[in-house]
Amino acid sequence: MKKNVAILVFEDAEVLDFAGPFEVFSVASQLNDHSLFNVFTVSKQKNPVRSINGLSVNPDYSFRSAPAIDILIIAGGTGTKALLQDKSYLNWVKRVHTQTELTLSICSGARLLGKLGLLDGIEYATHHSVYDHVEEIAPMGIPAKAKRYAAGGKIYTSGGISAGIDLSFHIIEKLHGKKVAQQTAEYMEYHRNGYAEKV
């Protein structure tokens, strides 16, 4: 069954945090007659948002217009600090998470999960420079500093920036098998051996 994959974007999101997973999930579906995933971006409003270093992104949906979400991906970036004080983002993530099959954070996107108490009692990964802050936000979480990504129930978290690509391949393999993940990696000429490492 085709799954809706929503990527949360916002002001000062890290580009590869959302573009990397977007590419992996989109290409995996493209190579399989577009039957696996419907991948789209979501933000509070449909207005353009400016990511880190100035790339402008046009969200596909606003919070109010987004369809049902099977897989939620929360990008990271310096903008996550501001989101910790924005109840509209926090409430939306909290609500959507109750309905997802999987919820992923990339890089410092783990801040939002920590703020909502969703990292309590589970291992998590984030950007190496952000662990101290996430430990303050979520002291009951278990930092997995040696892992490129970590899992706790339906929550998956990745380390910084490029690690989100590896986590995306891991999810592709989890849902559709190693052959689909390898086919996608070969098409993308992505030769990192760690994409399918165990968590």
185 lies in which domain range? 3-196
d(CA 90, CA 93): 5
Element containing residue 38 per DSSP (H, E):
strand 37-43
Residue 199 has pLDDT above 60, yes or no: no
CATH number at residue 147: 3.40.50.880
Which residue reads 């954070």 in tokens? 105
* CA angle, residues 154, 89, 6, in degrees to nearest 5: 50
Does residue 47 carry a pLDDT above 50? yes
pLDDT at 196: 43
Domain count, the chain: 1
pLDDT in tens, 145-174: 999 999 999 999 999 999 999 999 999 999
Confidence of residue 29 (pLDDT cuts 50, 70, 90): very high
pLDDT of residue 84: 98
Query: pLDDT tens digit string along 48-79?
Result: 999 999 999 999 999 999 999 999 999 999 99
**At residue 115, what are phi and psi to the nearest 5 degrees?**
-60, -35
Distance CA 100, CA 169 (A): 19
